[in-house]
Structure 1
Amino acid sequence: MSKSYEAVTSARPLVVTKRVRWADCDPAGVVYTGKFNEYMLIAVNYFFDELGGGNYFQWLKDLNVDTPCKGLDMEFHGALWPEDEFDMQCTVSAIREHSYDIHIEAKQKDGRRIFTGRFSPICISREVRRRAPIPQQMLDALQKFKP
């Protein structure tokens, strides 16, 4: 990876490579627990951009839905230190009528697991702000990210 701290390194499957900043760590040099949620959300944002063809929020506007987070969870498997590089692979693990799950698997280059996570957006209608069925165009796009 170049000197940047994050980059999409694969589109299918979607993989975001991240390098740990010193500022992400406590005085002992270990990444703060709360930073892992931020890392997961960085990967989800890149996933959204890929899902929406590069402009996710305009795509949602065209589909007349929004996708707030319905739920998320994370399990830790290993620690990270400054300048560590790791990959976050995003796949769609479940699709329901109104919501779906993005599965995030984070590993170092040698295969050591860092964390696994789930981010679950739910579709809501922009007009009435209530849950709405996932639009067909979104369903079609989500299928491309299933393992």
Structure 2
Amino acid sequence: MASIRAPLRFKRTILFGDCDPAGIVYTPRFTDYALEATHQALNNVFGEPAIRAMHALNILTPVRATNIEYLSPITWDDEIELLVCVNHVGSRSYTFSVAATKSDKTVFDATITFVCVCAKQKQTIPIPQQVRDKLNLLTIKGS
């Protein structure tokens, strides 16, 4: 696997269907953009679809909390860059930070916290070491 260096960067073009009649992105789509970016970051460090890899370990990772600060509107056909890193790894949960920029201007900042749950018992569980090791690849060193 190639060396991973946080934050990971992903580009996305805003689609016409993501916008309201005024051409501004619908508010709920920001959550989708942030969530998709966290999945892509995990896919990169797992080297395969991360959700499938976690399911194979009998782990579910529901979202426990989200927070998004909307800083500037974006419209269809805009290209944004999403910067993704893990900013906290706890015993049973982990938190991603996602910042979206357009032309070097931040358009939104988000945090998403996931919790590890046993797929069979539906109870929270400690983050397995092999998952923790992957999450640590997405932390910014020295922070």
Q: Partner letter of residue 90 of structure 1?
A: V
Equivalent residue for 2:137?
144
Equivalent residue for 1:87?
81
Equivalent residue for 1:5?
none
TM-superposed deviation, 1:12:
4.6
Percent identity for Structure 1 against Structure 2: 26
Q: Judge conservation of contact 1:11–1:50 (CA < 8 Å) in 2.
A: no
1:38-117 aligned within 5 A: 38-108=32-102, 110-117=103-110
TM-score, length of structure 1 as denominator length: 0.85
Q: Judge conservation of contact 1:17–1:88 (CA < 8 Å) in 2.
A: yes
- Name structure 1 gaps, 5 residues minimum: 1-9
**Range that drifts further, 25-34 or 66-75:** 25-34
Equivalent residue for 2:112?
119
Q: Partner letter of residue 125 of structure 2?
A: A
1:6-17 aligned within 5 A: 12-17=6-11
Q: Judge conservation of contact 2:25–2:73 (CA < 8 Å) in 1.
A: yes
- What is the root-mean-square deviation of aligned Cα atoms in Å? 1.7
- How many Å separate the matches in 1 of 2:54 and 2:63? 14
Equivalent residue for 1:135?
128
SS at match of 1:70: strand
TM-score, length of structure 2 as denominator length: 0.87
- How many Å separate the matches in 1 of 2:57 and 2:10? 26
SS at match of 1:103: strand
- Does 2:40 correspond to 1:23? no
- Name structure 2 gaps, 5 residues minimum: none
Count of aligned pairs: 137
